[in-house]
Chain A
Amino acid sequence: MTVITGETLARLLRVVRRECRRFVSRPLYLFCMVIAPLFSYLLFATMMGSGLPTDLPVGVVDQDGTSTTRMVVRNLDAFQQTKIVAHYPDFAAARKAMQRGDIYGFFYIPKGTTTEAMGAEQPRVSFYTNNSYLIAGSLLFRDMKTMGELASGAVARETLYAKGYTEAQAMAALQPIVIDTHPLNNPWLNYSVYLCNTLLPGVLMLLIFMVTVYSIAVEVKDGTANELLATSGDSIYVALVGKLLPQTLVFFLMAIFYNVYLYGYLHFPCNSGIGPMILASLLFVIASQAMGIFMVEVFPTLRLSLSFASLWGVISFSISGFTFPVMAMHPVLQALSNCFPLRHYFLIYVDQALNGYPMVYSWQSYVGLLLFLFLPFLVLPRLKHALKTYIYIP
């Protein structure tokens, strides 16, 4: 390694200047580095703006039609998450409405429910949810379960009150053990908190992969690779650093933007303070760029390296485990998940911003992100060779 001299710095500056000129000359860069991330941030955050879906449409099939069952139905409507939009004459009609997507679930009260309950014959009331829409289905499941317990208890409670029980005694008799849940640090079960904290960086990472790969490999395509190396004094280090430094700056700004947007503006939980998240974002941006360089090194052909970037970028969303936990995946995938920067970023976010643990508890993830920085050095000579000799093949 040569010592950094004034000459090297001057060359570096020349490459940086050359790169900035290239940015401005193509609207594509502006689109991928600024417009696309900003658009995605806004889309995700505002789409899930309410945090929890409210007033999900549900239906009722009340074949009994007594005052008791009507009361049960009214109670169901009072729940925040559900809104009864229609009554259906029978099961088949409600099922069709569910297939049409008019409702996400329905309450089925068969004929004779009230009389059977009074006669201690234990009638059965059913709630049907549509779990093809997993989130809507799960939310309804929760409401309907509570409702079911209340409905079941309503009849018995009346009897107990008549026997002179107080409300507390009646509840104790009906439900000796209750479950009291404490969802730590996201007590509202806010879906936006749960998804946006990883979706936003994920989209940024995907675009970092693409832009890094494109900006390097396009030099081969345009036949300007030798010009780049000439500007950098035939040093691949100067060429790459000069090329990627302006991008690092822009992408880091975009990363700071989502941090400020999520934690400053939307007030998502950030129990560690913003500092660790900014640090994690910086590491994340650089790790993603390093991963991008590695992709070009492996496939110096523009088309193939972009395909690699797309594949890795899109798979990141699934394999980082923020929706479907990594622990439930195949062991091979569990090991593979470490090769995705988003996985480490997600783990850091959970420990720091969400749970507010000290940084030392997530040291593995920080080291994981740092390790990506060594990746480009493994096959760097190959890239130089490619830049010098490759001819663009469509």
Chain B
Amino acid sequence: MKSKKMTFRGKVTQGISDMFLVWRRELRKVFHDQGVLIFFILVPLAYPLIYAFIYNNEVVREVPAVVVDDSGSALSRQFARMVDGTADVRIVARCADMEEARQVLREGEAYGIFYFPDDFTDRINRGEQSQVSIFCDMSGLLYYKAMLLSATEVSLELNADIKVARAGNTTAEQDAVTAMPIEYEEVALFNPQNGFATFLIPAVLMLVIQQTLLLGIGLSVGTDRERNRFNDLVPISRHYNGTLRLVMGKAFAYFLVYAVVCVYVLCVVPWLFSLPRLADPATLFAFLLPYVMACIFFSMTLSVFVRNRETCMLMFVFTSVPLLFLSGISWPADAMPGFWRGFSWLFPSTFGIKGYVAINTMGATLDEVSVEYMALWLQTGIYFILACVVYRWEILNSRRHAIDDYHRLRNTAS
């Protein structure tokens, strides 16, 4: 009866001290549970390393290709030699005809064919346009890209030579202008070497943070339920009675762990593999704060659906692949149907990845990622409220179960 008359100040003090108790217990639970430790420590530690190892080479070099040269002229031979000389393509064989070349492709020895028609040089000598055909195996778009890049590079160079030879200019500068009246250049402003690791790994790193939190918290909740007599999430205890102290105490424990994990995953890993690190530390820190909090409350909300310790893995692991695509890092978000775009906004990873890529790979400031930044704060707020709602519900549930149990016991006793 006394507690009901507690002053407001007393309640707050009580709440805060309970919150720290919940926090301490949750931290102890995290560090004493091997399963949770796997997700909170081992996976964030090892996964980025595996990914970085896989994509370490960044680009495909020396894609094997064959040549079918019906022209057999000096120019076609020069073209083929120059293609072989580029970093992207390696000529592995010269074939007599297309059928032979296709056979090499079928056997998987090469991924493309460079074909020179018999009138290749004659047409150029007559002042007509001549063409080189590339046939490319489409099992990987990077093969196609390598072959196209290499052929374009060589043709630009040869075209310039041919034009200069025809024009009969007297100075080098005139030569340059004849070859190309307006010089144009393509600049890859960010990720200049077109690297696969630079493109994919930052997104994977951010996703790892959300997914391991989801799995770790899910596992921990599943364990709580299994240990509880009524399969409830919240134990019956005076200290676990308030929603706020419970949600905030737990969230604070996860936050502490992930403050360290984030530094490793988002700062040490890019440094280890010399990925772009254009981020201003203060900007990165300010951006990560709402991201980690949104992930924590998001995971706490979803975790109530986990009934058993291990089922969270069956429910959540496969979502990593769709979530990576929903973030728009691969298939551009602007080309996604509206429904999926809206759906992607439910997940912190969508905004987290976009913002982190902008900050880390493109050196953006908070001003440029303000949309993502605000969205993450909004998600933090919404998921915090949702987490409170579901935890409130769970507290009431366990209280009801306890009271039912009490009545049942009393009935049996009498």
Q: Determine if A324 and B148 form an interchain contact, defined as CB atoms under 8 angstroms apart.
A: no
**Residue in A closest to B42 when the chains form the complex, CB atoms:** A307
Give chain B residues whose Cβ lies under 8 Å from the Cβ of A329.
54, 56-57
Q: Determine if B124 and A132 form an interchain contact, defined as CB atoms under 8 angstroms apart.
A: no
| Interface stretch (choices B232-240, B331-339, B405-413) | B331-339
Q: Does B99 contact A (CB under 8 A)?
A: no
Q: Mark B157-201, 1 if CB is under 8 A from A, else 0.
A: 011001100100000001011001111111111111010101110
In the complex, which residues 121-179 of chain A have their Cβ closer than 8 Å to any Cβ of chain B? 121-138, 141-142, 144-145, 148-149, 151-153, 155-156, 168-169, 171-179
Q: Determine if B60 and A327 form an interchain contact, defined as CB atoms under 8 angstroms apart.
A: yes
User: What interface size band does chain A fall in?
Assistant: 35 or more
Q: Does A191 contact B (CB under 8 A)?
A: yes
Give chain B residues whose Cβ lies under 8 Å from the Cβ of A136.
332
Give chain A residues whose Cβ lies under 8 Å from the Cβ of B50.
315
Q: Determine if A357 and B140 form an interchain contact, defined as CB atoms under 8 angstroms apart.
A: no
Q: Does A44 contact B (CB under 8 A)?
A: yes
| Interface stretch (choices B2-10, B250-258, B308-316, B380-388) | B308-316
Give chain B residues whose Cβ lies under 8 Å from the Cβ of A131.
188-192, 194, 198-199
**Residue in A closest to B363 when the chains form the complex, CB atoms:** A99
Give chain B residues whose Cβ lies under 8 Å from the Cβ of A324.
54-55, 60, 142, 196
Q: Determine if B317 and A100 form an interchain contact, defined as CB atoms under 8 angstroms apart.
A: no
A56's contact among B106, B155, B334, by CB below 8 Å, is which? Answer: B334
B183's contact among A46, A124, A138, A186, by CB below 8 Å, is which? Answer: A124
* A194 CA / B371 CA spacing, docked (Å): 32
Q: Determine if A155 and B310 form an interchain contact, defined as CB atoms under 8 angstroms apart.
A: no
Q: A127-B187, A129-B189, A169-B127 are in contact. Are A57 and B181 (CB under 8 A)?
A: no
- How close is A376's CB to chain B, nearest CB, in angstroms? 21
Give chain B residues whose Cβ lies under 8 Å from the Cβ of A130.
188-191, 362
Q: Does B282 contact A (CB under 8 A)?
A: no
Q: Does B129 contact A (CB under 8 A)?
A: yes
A176's contact among B142, B162, B191, by CB below 8 Å, is which? Answer: B162
In the complex, which residues 199-240 of chain B have their Cβ closer than 8 Å to any Cβ of chain A? 199-200, 202, 223, 226
Q: Determine if A214 and B182 form an interchain contact, defined as CB atoms under 8 angstroms apart.
A: no
* A354 CA / B141 CA spacing, docked (Å): 13
* A96 CA / B190 CA spacing, docked (Å): 12
| Interface stretch (choices A4-12, A203-211, A275-283) | A203-211
Q: Determine if A325 and B143 form an interchain contact, defined as CB atoms under 8 angstroms apart.
A: yes
Q: Does A361 contact B (CB under 8 A)?
A: yes
Q: Does A182 contact B (CB under 8 A)?
A: yes
Give chain A residues whose Cβ lies under 8 Å from the Cβ of B158.
176-177
Q: Determine if B340 and A137 form an interchain contact, defined as CB atoms under 8 angstroms apart.
A: no
Give chain B residues whose Cβ lies under 8 Å from the Cβ of A224.
none
| Total residues of chain B contacting the partner, CB 8 A | 106
Q: Mark B22-46, 1 if CB is under 8 A from A, else 0.
A: 0000000000011100100000000
Give chain A residues whose Cβ lies under 8 Å from the Cβ of B340.
43, 46-47
Q: Determine if B309 and A303 form an interchain contact, defined as CB atoms under 8 angstroms apart.
A: yes
Q: Determine if B56 and A330 form an interchain contact, defined as CB atoms under 8 angstroms apart.
A: yes
Q: Determine if A310 and B354 form an interchain contact, defined as CB atoms under 8 angstroms apart.
A: no
* A333 CA / B79 CA spacing, docked (Å): 34
Q: Determine if A113 and B182 form an interchain contact, defined as CB atoms under 8 angstroms apart.
A: yes
**Residue in B closest to A188 when the chains form the complex, CB atoms:** B138
Q: Does B68 contact A (CB under 8 A)?
A: no
Q: A48-B331, A329-B54 are in contact. Are A302 and B139 (CB under 8 A)?
A: no
In the complex, which residues 179-225 of chain A have their Cβ closer than 8 Å to any Cβ of chain B? 179-186, 189, 191, 194-195, 199, 202-203, 206-207, 210-211, 214, 218, 221
Q: Determine if B182 and A123 form an interchain contact, defined as CB atoms under 8 angstroms apart.
A: yes
Give chain A residues whose Cβ lies under 8 Å from the Cβ of B223.
394
Q: Does A322 contact B (CB under 8 A)?
A: yes
Give chain B residues whose Cβ lies under 8 Å from the Cβ of A99.
358, 362-364, 368-369
Q: A129-B189, A203-B321, A328-B61 are in contact. Are A179 and B151 (CB under 8 A)?
A: yes
- How close is A154's CB to chain B, nearest CB, in angstroms? 8
- How close is B73's CB to chain A, nearest CB, in angstroms? 12
Q: Does A252 contact B (CB under 8 A)?
A: no
**Residue in B closest to A206 when the chains form the complex, CB atoms:** B318
* A169 CA / B124 CA spacing, docked (Å): 11
In the complex, which residues 28-49 of chain A have their Cβ closer than 8 Å to any Cβ of chain B? 28, 31-32, 36, 40, 43-44, 46-49
Q: Determine if A214 and B321 form an interchain contact, defined as CB atoms under 8 angstroms apart.
A: no
- How close is B217's CB to chain A, nearest CB, in angstroms? 15
| Interface stretch (choices B241-249, B261-269, B288-296, B322-330) | B322-330
Q: Does B133 contact A (CB under 8 A)?
A: yes
Give chain A residues whose Cβ lies under 8 Å from the Cβ of B14.
none
In the complex, which residues 200-259 of chain A have their Cβ closer than 8 Å to any Cβ of chain B? 202-203, 206-207, 210-211, 214, 218, 221
* A333 CA / B52 CA spacing, docked (Å): 12
Q: Does B300 contact A (CB under 8 A)?
A: no
Q: Report which residue of A100, A132, A203 has the largest number of chain B beta carbons within 10 angstroms of its beta carbon.
A: A132
Give chain B residues whose Cβ lies under 8 Å from the Cβ of A325.
60, 140, 142-143
Q: Does B137 contact A (CB under 8 A)?
A: yes
- How close is A111's CB to chain B, nearest CB, in angstroms? 14
- How close is B95's CB to chain A, nearest CB, in angstroms? 16
Q: Does B130 contact A (CB under 8 A)?
A: yes
Q: Does A314 contact B (CB under 8 A)?
A: yes
Q: Does A104 contact B (CB under 8 A)?
A: yes
Q: Does A317 contact B (CB under 8 A)?
A: yes
A98's contact among B177, B183, B189, B321, by CB below 8 Å, is which? Answer: B189
Q: Does A75 contact B (CB under 8 A)?
A: no
A-B contact pairs, 9 of them (CB 8 A): A98-B190, A99-B364, A126-B187, A149-B184, A153-B181, A203-B321, A314-B317, A328-B142, A394-B33
**Chain B contacts to A: CB under 8 angstroms:** 33-35, 38, 50-51, 53-57, 59-61, 63, 79, 105-108, 124, 127-145, 148, 151-152, 155, 158-159, 162-163, 166, 174, 176-177, 180-192, 194, 196, 198-200, 202, 223, 226, 309-311, 313-315, 317-318, 320-322, 325-326, 328-332, 334-337, 340, 354, 357-358, 361-364, 368-369, 371
Q: 3 shortest A-B CB distances, which residue pairs?
A: A53-B335, A148-B184, A99-B364
**Chain A contacts to B: CB under 8 angstroms:** 28, 31-32, 36, 40, 43-44, 46-50, 53-57, 95-96, 98-101, 104, 113, 117, 120-138, 141-142, 144-145, 148-149, 151-153, 155-156, 168-169, 171-186, 189, 191, 194-195, 199, 202-203, 206-207, 210-211, 214, 218, 221, 302-303, 306-307, 310, 313-315, 317-319, 321-325, 327-330, 333, 350-351, 354-355, 357, 361, 394
